[in-house]
Amino acid sequence: MKPKKVLLLAILSGIITTALFYMFINNKAEGTSASEPVIEMTEVVVAATDIPQDQQILQEQIIVKEMPTDQVHAEMIQDITMAINQYTTADIKQDEVLMNHRIQEKEEEKEVVSRKINEGYRAVSTEVTYVTGVSNLIHPEDYVDVVLTSDKNIETKIILEKVRVLAVGERMIEKQIADAIVLYQAVTLELDQDDTVKLINADAHGALQLVLYSKSDVNEETVDQKSTPESDQEITETDSNIITIPAESIIRKSASLSAPPIEIVKEETSLLLLHNQETDEDGRIWLEVETTDKENGWISSRIIKGEQE
């Protein structure tokens, strides 16, 4: 074969090979693109740094990030202007997505005091000084005794025991502020109607002093005994859910105050009622419920209410 023909065939083969390789690569790229659909993204508001509870959210503390749309929860905040200057209702960690139920306007905090009061009780405030208020160390949800020193005979006596503190000043949640002293001049207590009159009357006849309980001395039984004036509640078979009343309620392994706890739930937690009940040796009625972790446990009927329709 002549050299010219060999050269011509070589060139032609090279052209065909290049064309086929190009077609192969192009088809592979199109197939890869078709198998990997474009992921739709949505902007959400994220904490740029740790934000403590009950603190106003500043613009420099939050940023906007993108995440896959199918992972966005309905409660996630997507508009940064909806979060700026709001107040946190719980500690928010860096890189945590802000949720609607974790922030509120400052005015909203004052509106929840009536929901903190147990049924049949009243909120009443008493003036305190730095000394009579236990050096301003009392926090909401603490328990105190109220001591009266009479002006007439200089007699000192306890007039009220284990009284729940609803608020100090205008603050209704416990908040620690490092290297600072939080001063307040009034403490709001939760009392029944008779004790409310007793406190107001005592205030007019002498000096009042508050005595703070240790957290370890205030157990579930304290709250259990005063959650409702009617003592144990009757829960009908039509009630499928119940709501907890105290700031914290203990769900126990069995129907007894001495039984080990299996979960501690916050105020107004909804629990599924399993329609089994037992009465302990003190006459206390216990109801079997399903915990938030889908376990079975027992809760005192004195610290719950039926869920409203």
pLDDT tens, position by position, for the chain (309 residues)? 566 676 777 777 778 888 777 777 777 666 555 556 788 999 999 999 999 877 889 889 999 999 998 888 888 999 999 999 888 888 899 999 999 888 887 655 554 566 678 777 889 999 999 888 888 889 888 899 999 998 877 788 999 998 999 888 877 766 544 444 567 889 999 998 889 999 999 888 889 999 998 876 665 555 545 444 444 555 554 447 888 877 778 899 999 888 888 888 888 888 898 888 898 887 788 999 998 888 899 998 888 876 644
Q: Which residues contact 282 (CB under 8 A, 6 or more apart)?
A: none
Task: Give, in order, the Cα–Cα distances in Å from 277 to each of 85, 86, 194, 259, 285.
Answer: 47, 44, 32, 15, 7
**Residue 5, Cα to own-chain centre: how many angstroms?**
87
Query: How are the residues of the chain apportioned to helix, strand and coil, as percentages rounded to the nearest 5?
Result: 25, 35, 40
d(CA 133, CA 135): 6
User: CA nearest 75: which of 100, 112, 50?
Assistant: 100
Q: What angle do CA 257, 277, 231 make, to 5 degrees?
A: 65
Rg (CA), the chain: 32
Instruction: Report pTM.
Output: 0.42
**Residue 48, Cα to own-chain centre: how many angstroms?**
21
d(CA 125, CA 66): 48
* Sign of the Cα pseudo-torsion (292, 173, 72, 94, in order): negative
